Amino acid sequence: MLVKNMSESKIPRELHLKIAKEKHEQLLTIMKELDIDCWIIFARSTMSIPDPIMELVVVGDIVWKSAFIFTLKDSKLTKTALVGNYDVINEEGKAIWDKVIGYKEGITEPFKKYIDEINPKKIALNYSTDDVTSDGLTYGMFMIISEILSDHKKKFTSAEKIIQKLRGRKSKVEIALVTKACELTKEIYANIGSQIKVGMTETEIQRMFHDEMDKLRVVESWQRNSCPTVDAGPDKEIGHAGPRPDGKVQKGHTLHYDFGVKLHGYCSDIQRMFFFGKEEEIPEELIHAFETVHGAITIAAEFIKPGVKGYEVDKIARDYVLERGYEEYGHALGHQVGTKAHDGGALLGPLWEKYRDIPKGLVEENMIFTLELNVKTKNYGYVSLEEDIVVTKEGCKFLIPRQEKFITIE
Amino acid sequence: MLVKNMSESKIPRELHLKIAKEKHEQLLTIMKELDIDCWIIFARSTMSIPDPIMELVVVGDIVWKSAFIFTLKDSKLTKTALVGNYDVINEEGKAIWDKVIGYKEGITEPFKKYIDEINPKKIALNYSTDDVTSDGLTYGMFMIISEILSDHKKKFTSAEKIIQKLRGRKSKVEIALVTKACELTKEIYANIGSQIKVGMTETEIQRMFHDEMDKLRVVESWQRNSCPTVDAGPDKEIGHAGPRPDGKVQKGHTLHYDFGVKLHGYCSDIQRMFFFGKEEEIPEELIHAFETVHGAITIAAEFIKPGVKGYEVDKIARDYVLERGYEEYGHALGHQVGTKAHDGGALLGPLWEKYRDIPKGLVEENMIFTLELNVKTKNYGYVSLEEDIVVTKEGCKFLIPRQEKFITIE
């Protein structure tokens, strides 16, 4: 049973290989769209430093220096794994490669030979200043591949557009998995809601979440000590901070969580707000703040659709918050969710330096985003909500019912 | 209990921060030795792409672009964390930094200002062509830091020597943790030994290991589907390959495992060989092979001590194997073990292309290495053993008793 528990946090192998096959199929279309005829994932010891895209197109770890080479020629995609001899059996067993080539002493010669023969027009590599999940190539590995493929160095280009489309365009299986993670998150919220009492500390409440996760055999979407964040009362800055052992739930105060679970490798990321007291006791100030956050999510959800740009969606919510008299929130309105809680690619964010060009990315069908923001009240701290949506042909759909008002606990 | 199980695979936070403090103390000596006055760990979203050294000197993940800056001046080490505003509380709570600086919109300005003021002679960054665990800086992040610190770019140098010494010089706490992981590995081997029967498949046997790990609340040292590797009989190539559902244990055959567990974040990595039959039934060919592998480990263990080079230790074992009439093994004789099963730094390996300059590294006191090799027999497949040792002032010590002969199962 323990084994089962632990493995349910990961994608079961058969499902994982199925997703990889779906992604390989998408890749043919994407590489054509982008007019890139060669993409190389160049990695080593991925247990120590994983390249985030490998879980979607390679599946599992490799030890020795390896090159996973996707080449497009005459509308046909060829997929080759060039790996250390000890990794050959593993790669062949996956049945996702057209060719598996092993080497013993060094990758240089077979790698150079293979690329010389193909002689591609472009070579996309996994580096990106803007998008974390497209930046899996380390600088040391970049130096090595620059040396091996020195004759082709001018062809090097960032693979970020390939990776963003590949991660962003969720398959049916992927949407189903994120939705299921959201449903389990909702279930945990409901279970916790019935157990919480005035006087409990943030630390105690977080422990309850962890117990519920273990019961349902799921793991945290991000680092456990801040998943969930638990913010009781008005005195805490909202952030990725751990719970306070002396932060207690009190009557007349709010309670806020930022929480997500991972099931079969796919994440949820949802925030909820509680109020301790009767519904009619909620102060006007809190209601106004809640309606502002809720309203901003509503207009963003009504606006978003394939073809709009990330920063346009953020702006409509941000302007709304400012109009309603609050300070603007200090982060992006929404990020993508997938195998990572922050799944990279197009971001619904403002054009701030730290987001680089990412908010200029296009929203596409089947992308899954969070819609999240907070406003600060004078006397009651922050009010913050977060929902998960999937972009449809015409607009978007909430993956699970959204929060419509404070959940009250007496 | 489930919570406990899962958290025991990780280092408990207090212990983790204690190790970080030990490492910060070592750093003062190391940076003096290497005459490097500034080391910067530059990272973002380490849940997606971790920099392997961060677990030892930073502890925990960060979301926004962050710079962890160690500067040496007048024999004093100053430790500064420059992080996104949402990560400030987390960093301050660790009490391992002299200064925590937060930023909201972008890291460029405060980062540039801080480094301009220090104006170091050298700036060590985490890139390395040779050493995986020193290569945590991605190429995208290298481009960003090159832009921010463009006035200092000529000072950039690889931090691999800092990192190798920091990882390699195990503290007392670290040696105790690896030893404990080895002892639990031994316990699991013993428990499995009493359950195995002729006719079982590799897949069944691997499942038994996973059950034992769960009972002892430890996790695998490397990817679960090949931890342990289980190799029954003569037909399988030794490697990091998964178990075969049709690979059965038979009388007169050998059984081989490569296995390790992680306890509180520290790994073991040990191979053992079994024979199915009575001791007197072990074929001469297998005994000769076992004695060769065992003997090679013995002479390597007798040779190793602080000051020798990695490839010298490998050579003495490799030559012995060749002298005894076998093909040489296709890998290094030993790698370091720590928070990773392959912990980086000096390697006891041959001077092959794939190992680059790593085997030229010096062996130092308190480094923990594996000693491992295999030979191939004509009729019975591979014989392979692996032990874990710690380097002492005068030589080395096996962390747990080594395997002296085939373990027989009738």
Q: Is A108 on the interface with B (CB under 8 A)?
A: yes
Contact B90 A134 (CB under 8 A): no
What pLDDT was estimated at residue A235?
A: 82
Q: Would you state the structure tokens that stand for residue B190, as one six-digit string? A: 């013993």
B333-354, pLDDT tens digit by residue?
999 999 989 888 899 999 998 7
Among the listed ranges A42-46, B102-106, B178-182, B376-380, which one has the minimum average pLDDT value?
B102-106
> Could you give the angle at the alpha carbon of A121 between the alpha carbons of A118 and A123, nearest 5°?
85
The mean pLDDT value for B362-375 works out to: 97
Band (pLDDT 50/70/90 cuts) for residue B53 is very high
Contact B241 A137 (CB under 8 A): no
Among the listed ranges A228-237, A394-403, B153-162, which one has the minimum average pLDDT value?
A228-237
Cβ neighbours of B265 in A, within 8 Å: none
Nearest residue in A to B139, CA atom = A139
Res A357 pLDDT > 90: no
Residues 220-249 on A with a CB inside 8 Å of B are: 222-226, 237-242
Cβ neighbours of A219 in B, within 8 Å: 6
The mean pLDDT value for B56-76 works out to: 94
Q: Which of B139, B222, B223 sits opposite A127 (nearest CB)?
A: B139
Mutation choice for B interface testing from A48, A128, A230 by most B CBs within 10 A: A48
The mean pLDDT value for B79-83 works out to: 98
Q: Is B157 on the interface with A (CB under 8 A)?
A: no
Q: Which of B50, B127, B344 sits opposite A139 (nearest CB)?
A: B127
Burial B23-53 (b: 16+ CB within 10 A, else e): bbebbeebbeebebbbbbbbbbbbbbbbbbb
A163-213, pLDDT tens digit by residue?
999 999 999 999 999 999 999 999 999 999 889 999 999 999 999 999 999
B182-217, pLDDT tens digit by residue?
999 999 999 998 899 999 999 999 999 999 998 888
A64-95, pLDDT tens digit by residue?
899 999 999 999 999 999 999 878 988 999 99
Res A9 pLDDT > 90: no
CA-wise closest residue to A160 among A138, A137, A182, A183: A137
What pLDDT was estimated at residue A393?
A: 97
Res B45 pLDDT > 70: yes
**Portion of chain A with pLDDT greater than 70, in percent:** 97
Place of tokens 């996790």: B219
**Portion of chain B with pLDDT greater than 70, in percent:** 97
* CA count, 13 A, side-chain hemisphere, A390: 19
What pLDDT was estimated at residue A239?
A: 57
Q: Which of B47, B129, B131 sits opposite A223 (nearest CB)?
A: B47
Q: What are phi and psi of B158, to 5 degrees?
A: -70, 140
Contact A140 B133 (CB under 8 A): no
Cα A28 to Cα A31: distance, rounded to the nearest angstrom: 6
What pLDDT was estimated at residue A247?
A: 85
What pLDDT was estimated at residue B7?
A: 37
Helix crossing, B13-34 with B160-168: angle to 10°? 130
Decide: residue A252, CB within 10 A, 0-12 exposed, 13-18 middle, 19+ buried.
middle
Cβ neighbours of A85 in B, within 8 Å: 239, 330
What pLDDT was estimated at residue A6?
A: 37
Cα-trace Rg, chain A = 23
What pLDDT was estimated at residue A178?
A: 97
What pLDDT was estimated at residue A217?
A: 83
Q: Is B354 on the interface with A (CB under 8 A)?
A: yes
Q: Which of A47, A141, A219 sits opposite B223 (nearest CB)?
A: A47
Res B1 pLDDT > 50: no
A266-301, pLDDT tens digit by residue?
999 999 999 999 999 999 999 999 999 999 999 999
Band (pLDDT 50/70/90 cuts) for residue A8 is low
Cα A50 to Cα B135: distance, rounded to the nearest angstrom: 12
The mean pLDDT value for A3-26 works out to: 76
What pLDDT was estimated at residue B9?
A: 60
> Could you give the angle at the alpha carbon of A86 between the alpha carbons of B247 and B9, nearest 5°?
80
**What is the number of H-type helices and E-type strands within chain B?**
11, 16
What strands lie across the sheet with A266-267, from one edge to the other? A219-220, A261-263, A266-267
The mean pLDDT value for B300-306 works out to: 98
Q: Is A137 on the interface with B (CB under 8 A)?
A: yes
Decide: residue A154, CB within 10 A, 0-12 exposed, 13-18 middle, 19+ buried.
exposed
What pLDDT was estimated at residue B4?
A: 31
Contact A242 B139 (CB under 8 A): no
Burial B180-199 (b: 16+ CB within 10 A, else e): bbbebbbbbbeebeeebeee
Nearest residue in A to B103, CA atom = A354
Q: Whole-number mean pLDDT of chain A?
A: 92
Collect all residues with Cβ–Cβ distance below 8 Å to B132 and sequence separation of at least 6: A44, A45, A48, A49, B52, B342, B344
Cβ-based neighbour number of residue B278 at 10 Å = 10
ipTM beyond cut 0.95: no
All structural domains of chain B, each given as residue ranges with its CATH number in brackets, are: 2-167 (3.40.350.10), 169-409 (3.90.230.10)
What pLDDT was estimated at residue B68?
A: 98
Res B246 pLDDT > 80: yes
The mean pLDDT value for B134-145 works out to: 98
Q: Whole-number mean pLDDT of chain B?
A: 92
Res A1 pLDDT > 60: no
Q: Would you state the structure tokens that stand for residue B47, as one six-digit string? A: 């849940």
Cα B291 to Cα B240: distance, rounded to the nearest angstrom: 24
What pLDDT was estimated at residue B217?
A: 83
A319-355, pLDDT tens digit by residue?
999 999 999 999 999 999 999 898 888 999 999 987 8
Cα A73 to Cα B382: distance, rounded to the nearest angstrom: 42
Band (pLDDT 50/70/90 cuts) for residue A252 is very high
Res B357 pLDDT > 80: yes
